[in-house]
Amino acid sequence: MESAIRLFGSKGYKNTTIEEIAEEAQFSKGAIYSYFESKKHLFDEILKSLFDKVESFAIEAKNIKSDAREKLKVYALNTMNYFLNEGKYSFHVMMQAIMQMEAEEKETTRAYVMERLHQISKILTDIIKTDIKNGKVKNIDPNLIIMAFNGMLRDVIYGCLHGNTVNLETDEIVEMILEIIFEGISKTKDKAK
């Protein structure tokens, strides 16, 4: 699957063939088809494994005995370290999951991606809800907080993978994202007028 991830991530779904995957993996085309009935089936299995990995980061974070900020820090660090180090092609595969599918394949893939993103977001939202309930976080819509958090995290990963130089270590980037989420960007505690 690593060869397929590398090819799908670098060339895209449409531009990758089973022949290329077999050649890169040093398998015969028939060997690939003995495990996966089609290119779409292989792509779906890769997506499942990637979402399983990200969801495991969310579950691990939720189970930590700490506050929401620390839990989101663990999730963000695990996610960033995975995608920036061992899984850089995996990030591209996830981002293109909807955009490069053929019309008939696109809807089932889109539905699957949306379902998995919802599952992961629900875990993270529950983390925020707990701190809202305990009075540690303002009573702001937790779904909105997590959408903002995930959006920043996704865009930072994308930027780092595409050469936007950030002269910070991963843990410093995560701290800045968390500071923006939990404290905002205003220099004063008073609301900007």
pLDDT (tens digit, 9 = 90+) per residue, 107-157? 788 888 889 999 999 999 999 999 999 999 999 999 999 999 999 999 999
**Tokens 């008073």 correspond to what residue?**
190
Q: Check residue 54 and give its pLDDT.
A: 97
Instruction: Give the total residue count for the chain.
Output: 193
Sketch out the chain's domains with CATH numbers. 44-183 (1.10.357.10)
> Is 7's pLDDT higher than 70?
yes
pLDDT (tens digit, 9 = 90+) per residue, 83-117? 998 878 999 898 887 666 666 677 788 888 889 99
At 188, which amino acid appears? T
Q: Check residue 154 and give its pLDDT.
A: 93
Binning pLDDT at 50, 70 and 90, where does residue 66 land?
Answer: very high
Conformational region of residue 12, where left means phi above 0, alpha means psi within -120 to 50, and beta covers everything else? left
Q: Which of 30-39, 69-78, 92-101 has the highest mean pLDDT?
A: 69-78
Q: Check residue 191 and give its pLDDT.
A: 53
DSSP result, 130-177: HHHHTTSS-S--HHHHHHHHHHHHHHHHHHHHTT----S-HHHHHHHH
Residue % of the chain over a pLDDT of 70: 91
Position with higher pLDDT, 30 vs 165: 30
Nearest-10 crossing angle of helices 103-133, 39-62: 0
> Is 15's pLDDT higher than 60?
yes
Binning pLDDT at 50, 70 and 90, where does residue 188 land?
Answer: low
Q: Which of 4-18, 47-61, 75-89 has the highest mean pLDDT?
A: 47-61
Binning pLDDT at 50, 70 and 90, where does residue 189 land?
Answer: low
Q: Check residue 130 and give its pLDDT.
A: 96
- In degrees and rounded to multiples of 5, residue 42 shows phi and psi of -60, -45
For residue 18, give the 3-state DSSP assignment: helix
Which range is least confidently modeled, 60-64, 183-187, 189-193?
189-193
User: Counting Cβ atoms within 10 Å, is residue 7 exposed (0-12), middle (13-18) or buried (19+)?
Assistant: buried
